Amino acid sequence: MRTALLAPVALFAALAGTARADDASFGRIDGDLSVVAGAGVTVASRGPRGAVDMRLRYLDTAGVFVGYEEAPLFGSGAEPRRVFAGGLELRPLFLARWLNGKEGGPARVELALDSLGVELGVVLGQPQGGSFASRPGFETGLGFEVPVLAQASGPWIGLHGGVRWSNAALEGQPIVDANDRALYLTITVAWHQFFGAHVVDVGDTTPR
């Protein structure tokens, strides 16, 4: 089972050694992990919320994210007032296209295309004048990012949007307002940094 899971990674590492002369990955093979830190605004019901966003990705393909949004940063009456969210994201295009030699076009176009991803997570909302929900709801969405520079590491502009449901709405209770179900769109300016953490090597070293 472990060998099957690492087989695509081994192929990735083997091809990485030959790609540096003409690096169609645009810097994404410079490290196996990448950290994304961003800030921006979430378009919400009744007004905007300020937003911060953190992401950790493996091979720029799969990762986790956490985010926090708060309306008072903009003095708006957004509903909910505050939101915590976190979950998983999957961005399958990069490895599939790069390993099959489909990369090599304009850097910004390739990087933006490969950024398309699916996001699934949990969400806790705090309505105006109330407290945070006692049980988390669910969110599902899509992500898309555009690099400012023609390389993977550096500043990016991100769009992350989808639908959020409260736990009560998921249990079939009536949907009253945006605290129960709402569309969201978060726009961020973020820094992407790639580094080698040698995650694949963990457990592979033979004791001497």
Q: Where are the domains of the chain?
A: 30-197
Please report the DSSP string for 2-64 in residue order.
HHHHHHHHHHHHHHHHHHSTT-TTTTTTS-SEEEEEEEEEEEEBTEEEEEEEEEEEETTTEEE
Of 48-57, 103-112, 193-202, the least confident:
193-202
Q: CATH assignment of 30-197?
A: 2.40.160.20
Say yes or no to pLDDT of 24 above 60: yes
In this prediction, residue 20 carries a pLDDT of 42
Say yes or no to pLDDT of 208 above 70: no
Pairing state between β 62-70 and 47-58: antiparallel
Please tell me the pTM assigned to this model.
0.83
180: its two tokens? 């129960």
In this prediction, residue 200 carries a pLDDT of 59
Alpha carbon distances (Å) from 11 to 17, 60, 120, 200: 10, 15, 28, 12
Tens of pLDDT along 36-84? 999 999 998 888 999 999 999 999 999 999 999 999 866 678 899 999 9
In this prediction, residue 202 carries a pLDDT of 47
Nearest one of 192, 188, 157, 155 to 31, comparing CA atoms? 192
Say yes or no to pLDDT of 127 above 80: yes
Q: What is the mean pLDDT of the chain?
A: 86
Average pLDDT over residues 16-28: 63
Per-residue pLDDT band at 196 (split at 50, 70, 90): confident
Per-residue pLDDT band at 205 (split at 50, 70, 90): very low
**Residue 65: its H or E element:** strand 62-70
Average pLDDT over residues 101-107: 87
Average pLDDT over residues 155-164: 98
Of 52-56, 103-107, 167-171, the least confident:
103-107
Say yes or no to pLDDT of 174 above 60: yes
Backbone angles phi, psi at 96, to 5 degrees: -60, -45
Please report the DSSP string for 137-206 in residue order.
EEEEEEEEEEESSSSSSEEEEEEEEEEEE-HHHHTT----STTTEEEEEEEEEEEEEEE---GGGTTTSP
In this prediction, residue 73 carries a pLDDT of 65
Average pLDDT over residues 145-153: 96
